[in-house]
Amino acid sequence: MSRPLTRSGQWSQTTTGISQSAALVKHTSYQIPTRTAFLMQITNFGKNICFTPTAHYSPQSEREVLEILEKHRGQTIRCVGRLHSWSRLIESEQVCLDLSHLQQVEPNSSGDDKFVDVGSGCQIKRLLAELNTRKQWTLPSVGFITEQSVAGSISTGTHGSGRHSLSHYVISVRVARYDVNGTPVIEDIVEGDELRAARCSLGCLGVILSVRMQCREAYRVEEHWREYSQLDEVELAEERFPLQQFYLAPWRWTIFVQHRRETEAKQSLLMHAYLWYRFLVIDVSMHLLILFIVRVIRSAWLIKVVCRWVLATFVIRGWRVVAPSRSQLVMEHELFRHVELELFVQKSQLSSALEFLKHVLVAVSESTSEISPKFRTQLDDTDSMEQLERLRGRYCHPYPICVRKILPDDTLISMATNATSRNPLVQGSHGTLLADEPWYSITLTNFQAPKSREAFDLVAEMMTKCMSELFGARPHWGKLNSLSTEELRSLYPAFDTFREICDKSDPQGAFRNAWTKRLLDSVNSR
């Protein structure tokens, strides 16, 4: 249940200290200055989304947020975090709020429960550092990178491997929004479906001011790499290495597993050497090589040779290293600009989904490869045969395909939720979800320059459509997402509950951009 805490009568309507826009255009690239007197063009990390809000603010306090809401009553308001999403969720047509000044970190405990109250704009990396220094605590889960803001991360269901997504660990969310009279208020969302909606809200429940999140004692993770030829073997190893993630190596078609598990063992003596190896060899050198091939050489033949024979030499197999989770679980994927498509399937669909993905990648890389009867049926069932024929010989995938396991989230619409509908007739387009089944995310990463990316975008579009129809695959809310809003809704049985909560807490649709408005509309639209 939500409780209004602050009413507009309690604060003055002065706009002191709040900047407004003027008529000059300035370019920024995922960096927003504190206060701006410009009409700013804002570009995301991936440089695939660009927008120019009519007003841009970087408030310093909750009170300033309320003042902005009061001043812009009747307009649409969207927040940005660190602009690390690739999807249209981040667009603001009118007022854009950057909450990066709200970054307080207040760790606390009650009995055995550890938690932190953290400002919505605090970056995950700062939160991890503060928790570690002040309490020797950490978060229960982290993604590949820690550049994101807390609010941005939870708003799209950001996740790592082997645990729930970050949204699942949210205890309460403090938001600023309008009440039924259009007065700006602050409320703490602490329980029920409202909390499950607020845990992953796509920015549609209002301005997130702070979040209370579960924490835990800092811990260490043992990691080593191994190469496998069969998915079954990788799945079997999960029992011993619950935090593992793996990479399907294109054109070699083996699986490199980053076996990981929590351990009581001491930090390895060679930990720093290993972390430097991982940074210099994998995060930097391997990426530079791939960049060179896809941007300069651009030869499908060479991509295949490098993927089959060279990339495998970058991986040292069997070196077991223990390091703190905050270093071991994080890679440096933000070093080189790129775009990502990430599709989530339940465990029972993983093997078929990966087989289908392999068929598509092989078929689009060559004009003549044979199409198996099973693959042909899948293409016919999804009306995609013609689309595939048009793409043949146009795209050769050069990057390991990452697969991560996510435990089911207690949310309404994060990608790894198994939430069902209150209405027994609504089950989503793929029947009832298996309640306890974990999800696996499959990530396709692309480093081509935007002007050369057309074929990848078309492949991503086709893959998303086919895999959502065949395997109930859900695209990451923060990544490339070409499904229609109607198709997206059908993937989440609890979507109607989410929409009802959004309508109730924001009846005017003040916190929706054009894309989320269409998503939350009850009529079908694209």
Among 116, 128, 145, 466, binds ligand FAD (CB under 6 A): 145
Among 51, 115, 144, 440, binds ligand FAD (CB under 6 A): 144
CB of 423 to ligand FAD, least distance (A): 27
Kindly give, in sequence order, each residue whose CB lies less than 8 Å from that of residue 14, ignoring residues fewer than 6 positions away: 67
Task: Give the type of residue at 404.
Answer: R
Q: CA-CA-CA-CA torsion for 90, 91, 95, 99, nearest 10 degrees? A: 20
CB of 342 to ligand FAD, least distance (A): 7
Kindly give, in sequence order, each residue whose CB lies less than 8 Å from that of residue 129, ignoring residues fewer than 6 positions away: none
Strands 55-57 and 95-98 come out as parallel
CB of 332 to ligand FAD, least distance (A): 9
Centroid of chain to Cα 354: 20
- Strand residues in 252-315 grouped as ranges (E): 255-263
Give the number of residues in contact with ligand FAD, rule: CB under 6 A.
32
Encoded one letter per residue, x for contact with ligand FAD by CB under 6 A and - for no contact, window 461-480 reads -----------------x--
45 contributes a contact to ligand FAD by CB under 6 A: yes
481 contributes a contact to ligand FAD by CB under 6 A: no
What whole-number distance in Å separates Cα of residue 120 and Cα of residue 174?
9
SS3 sequence of 171-200:
EEEEEEEECCCCCEEEEEECCHHHHHHHHC
Among 42, 68, 83, 293, binds ligand FAD (CB under 6 A): 83
Strands 401-406 and 245-248 come out as antiparallel
CB of 291 to ligand FAD, least distance (A): 14
Among 53, 59, 119, 152, binds ligand FAD (CB under 6 A): 152
Tokens of 451: 């002007």
Q: Which is nearer to ligand FAD, 163 or 261 (CB)?
A: 163
442 contributes a contact to ligand FAD by CB under 6 A: no
Specify the stretch interacting with ligand FAD by CB under 6 A; choose among 54-62, 109-117, 148-156, 278-286: 148-156
Kindly give, in sequence order, each residue whose CB lies less than 8 Å from that of residue 223, ignoring residues fewer than 6 positions away: 258, 259, 260, 320, 321, 323, 328
Among 99, 186, 354, 403, binds ligand FAD (CB under 6 A): 99
CB of 155 to ligand FAD, least distance (A): 3
203 contributes a contact to ligand FAD by CB under 6 A: yes
Q: Are 120 and 101 in contact (CB under 8 A)?
A: no
184 contributes a contact to ligand FAD by CB under 6 A: no
Interface ranges with ligand FAD (CB under 6 A) = 45, 78-85, 89-90, 99, 120, 143-145, 148-149, 151-153, 155-156, 158-159, 202-203, 207-208, 333-334, 478
